[in-house]
Structure 1
Amino acid sequence: MKKEYTIGEISNLYNLSPDALRHYEKKGLLNPKRKENGYRFYDLNDIWKLNIIKDMKKLDFTLKQIKDYLENRSLDNSIDLLKSEISVIEDELEPLLRQKKFMNRRLKSLRELKRIKDFEEVNYKFLEERKIITVKGEFETDQEIDLAFRELERRDDESLTMFASKDMGTIVSKEGMRIGEYDDYQNAFFLVEEKDTYYDAILPRGFYATLYYKGSYNKLSSLYQKVIEDINYKGLEVIYPALEIYRLDIHSEKYEENYITEIQVRVKEKDI
C-alpha cells in the first residue's frame, strides 16, 4: 500500500476537486505535508480524516462540526453529535409529515365525496363539539367569503391551506336564521383538529339536520327551506347554529355544477 499520495491521486480517489481539498486544508480539517518542490502530499493520517469528512458530509454535517469532531473524537462525543443531528432531521421532517397528513386527510375527504348518492336528501346525525378558528363579518358575495378565508389562512400559513387542509365553511347569522335569509353570514371558519390548541370558538355538540347538494350556490335558499320543512315535519326545533361547509368548491373544482356543499342545521326536540 502506498504511504504518500499526490493531490491529484487523492482527488480521484475521493471524487473531490483539488480546490475542495485546499479548502479543507484552509479550514484546518487536513494538514498535508509538503515536498521540497512545494507540492502537497497526503499520508495515511490524512486518509482516515478524509474517510470521516466524506461520510459526515453525506450526513450534512457542517465543516465546523466535522473539524470539532476530528479534534475531539470520543464515544460520548459521537453519541452527542448523532443525537443532535437526529434532532435537526426530525425538526426538518416535521413540516413534511404535517403536510403529508393534511394531504392524506384531503384525499380521504375527496374520495368520500365520490361516494355520496343521496344529494338533496335530509339526514340527521349527532356531531361532537368541533373547534374552529373564525373571522367575523357580514359576507354577501363569494369574493368576500374568499377574502375572509384568506384572512383566516394568513393567521397560520403553515397549517391552513384552502386546497389541501381543513374543512371550511360559513355560519348563518341568528337573525338570518330567524327571518329565512340564509345568505346572511356572520362568520367564516376553518375546522381544526381536536388536539389543536389554537382555536377561538367551538361548534356545539348535538343533532344536526344535514343535506348535501351539488351545483350552484343559487340553490341555497330553496334547499335550506327544504331542511327547515323536514325539521318541522319531524316535530323538531331549529336552534343555532346553521352552517354551510364547502366540501368541493372553486379551489378544487373548475365547474360550478360540480361544487358540493353540506348544509348543517342544529336541532332539538320541542318541549311538550
Structure 2
Amino acid sequence: MYTVGQVANFLGVTRDTLKYYEEKELVKPKYDENGYRKYNQYDIHDVITTNFYRELDIEIKKIQEIRQSKSLADLEDVLVEKEAKIIEEMEYKKLLLRQISSVRENCSKIKLHLGKFTVKEMRPLEVKGEIADFTAYNEYEIIRNSTESLKKAVTLMSVRRVIHFDEEGKKEDRFIVVKEVEEGDKNLTGEVLAFPKCIYTVIENGRAVTGGKNIDNEVGERLLKIAQENGYKLLGIAYINILLTTYEEGLERVFVEMYSPISACSKRRIKRTEKFEAAQF
C-alpha cells in the first residue's frame, strides 16, 4: 500500500490531481486505521488509465461513463474518434511545418538575391483562379479553396501578380491564384505556367522604402535595361510573388521576387554576382 505522496511521486502528478480524481470517483483508495488514504496496485492503475484518457483530452464526464460501462465497444468508439482527431491535427502540424520551411526559404532568397539578378527557371505553376488584386478581400475564398490554408490566416504565397509590359511601360496587370506543380502530378485541371529561363531578382517595396509611391515604371525600366545590356529578349511579362513582410518604425518593408521570362534566342548568360545599379527598386 502506498501513501498519496508516494503515488504522486511515482506518477509525476500533484496531490491535488489525485484528490480531484477521488472526488470524481475515478479512483477509490482505502483509508487506514489512522485515517490516511492508501493506494493499492489497482488504484495506481486507475490513476495511470485516467491520466492516459486526460492526455487524449477526454472530458471527466466521458471518463466516468467509460468506467461505468461494461462494453469494450464504448471505449473503442471513443478511441477511434480521438485517433481520427489526432491524425487530423498531425496533418495540420505538417502543414504548419511546411509553411515555416517556406518562410525560412524566403528569408534565404532575400539575403541571397536582394538587389541582384540572375537567370533561373520558373518552376511550373498551375493556375487555379484569378482575383482582382491583393485588396479584393471578398475574393479570398478562392485562395482558401485552391490551396492548403491555415486555420486562422490566409497566406498569399499562392498569389502571383502578373504584369504585361513593353518599352512604353505597363500594359496589363492581373492577379492569379496558383499551385506549385509537383513532379508526376496528373491531377491538373488548369493552365500550367512554366519558363525555363527568366531574369530573376528580389525587390524591396513597401511604405518604409517607397513612401507608398508606385514603383512599377522604375522596376520596368531597370528590367529592360538589364535585358538590353546582357543581350536578352524579354517576353514582355513578369510574375511577382510576395516573399515576406517586415516592419521598420511601423511601416511595411515588403520583399517580393520577380520572374521575367526571356527568349531562348538570348545571347549570353547573366552571372550570379552581377548587380543592379546602386539604387534599389
Instruction: Find the aligned partners of 2:254 and 2:129 in 1 and give their Cα distance.
Output: 23
TM-score, normalised to structure 1's length?
Answer: 0.60
Aligned counterpart in structure 2 of residue 158 of structure 1, from 120, 126, 150: 150
- The 1:161–1:194 alpha-carbon spacing in structure 2 relative to 1, beyond 3 Å, is farther
- The 1:161–1:182 alpha-carbon spacing in structure 2 relative to 1, beyond 3 Å, is farther
What's the offset of the Cα at 1:242? 1.8
Aligned counterpart in structure 1 of residue 174 of structure 2, from 150, 162, 186: 186
Matches within 5 A, 1:126-141: 126-137=121-132
Instruction: Find the aligned partners of 1:160 and 1:166 in 2 and give their Cα distance.
Output: 15
Check conservation: 1:102, 1:166, Cα contact below 8 A.
no
Check conservation: 1:245, 1:263, Cα contact below 8 A.
yes
Instruction: Find the aligned partners of 2:41 and 2:22 in 1 and give their Cα distance.
Output: 15
Matches within 5 A, 1:113-262: 113-116=110-113, 119=115, 121-137=116-132, 144-147=133-136, 151=140, 152-155=142-145, 157-158=149-150, 161=153, 166=157, 168-172=159-163, 176-178=164-166, 180-182=168-170, 184-189=172-177, 192=180, 194=182, 200-215=190-205, 216=210, 218-232=214-228, 234-239=230-235, 241-248=237-244, 251-254=245-248, 258-262=253-257
Task: Specify the SS of the correspondent of 1:169.
Answer: strand
- The 1:218–1:56 alpha-carbon spacing in structure 2 relative to 1, beyond 3 Å, is closer
Aligned counterpart in structure 1 of residue 107 of structure 2, from 110, 119, 122: 110
Measured on the aligned residues, the alpha-carbon RMSD in Å equals 4.8
Q: What do residues 172-210 of structure 1 show as CA deviations (whole Å, max 9, x unaligned)?
A: 1xxx42574327312243554637979844322321122
Task: Specify the SS of the correspondent of 2:19.
Answer: coil
- The 1:170–1:180 alpha-carbon spacing in structure 2 relative to 1, beyond 3 Å, is farther
Check conservation: 2:232, 2:263, Cα contact below 8 A.
yes
Instruction: Find the aligned partners of 1:149 and 1:103 in 2 and give their Cα distance.
Output: 26
Instruction: Find the aligned partners of 1:180 and 1:208 in 2 and give their Cα distance.
Output: 21
Length, aligned pairs only: 235
Q: What do residues 198-232 of structure 1 show as CA deviations (whole Å, max 9, x unaligned)?
A: 98443223211223333436333133233234434
Instruction: Find the aligned partners of 2:150 and 2:233 in 1 and give their Cα distance.
Output: 40
- The 1:244–1:84 alpha-carbon spacing in structure 2 relative to 1, beyond 3 Å, is closer
Instruction: Find the aligned partners of 1:104 and 1:65 in 2 and give their Cα distance.
Output: 39
Higher relative helix content: 1
Check conservation: 1:148, 1:188, Cα contact below 8 A.
no
TM-score, normalised to structure 2's length?
Answer: 0.59
What's the offset of the Cα at 1:50? 3.4
Alignment of 1:90 onto 2:78: no
Check conservation: 2:234, 2:260, Cα contact below 8 A.
yes
Structure 2 residue ranges without an equivalent (≥5): 3-14, 30-37, 267-281
Check conservation: 1:246, 1:262, Cα contact below 8 A.
yes
Aligned counterpart in structure 1 of residue 18 of structure 2, from 12, 15, 18: 15
- The 1:253–1:203 alpha-carbon spacing in structure 2 relative to 1, beyond 3 Å, is farther
Instruction: Find the aligned partners of 1:260 and 1:194 in 2 and give their Cα distance.
Output: 25
- The 1:159–1:102 alpha-carbon spacing in structure 2 relative to 1, beyond 3 Å, is farther
- The 1:65–1:87 alpha-carbon spacing in structure 2 relative to 1, beyond 3 Å, is farther
What's the offset of the Cα at 1:106? 0.5
Structure 1 residue ranges without an equivalent (≥5): 3-11, 33-41, 138-143
Aligned counterpart in structure 1 of residue 47 of structure 2, from 46, 51, 56: 51
What's the offset of the Cα at 1:146? 2.7
The farther-off stretch of 206-215 and 252-261 is: 252-261
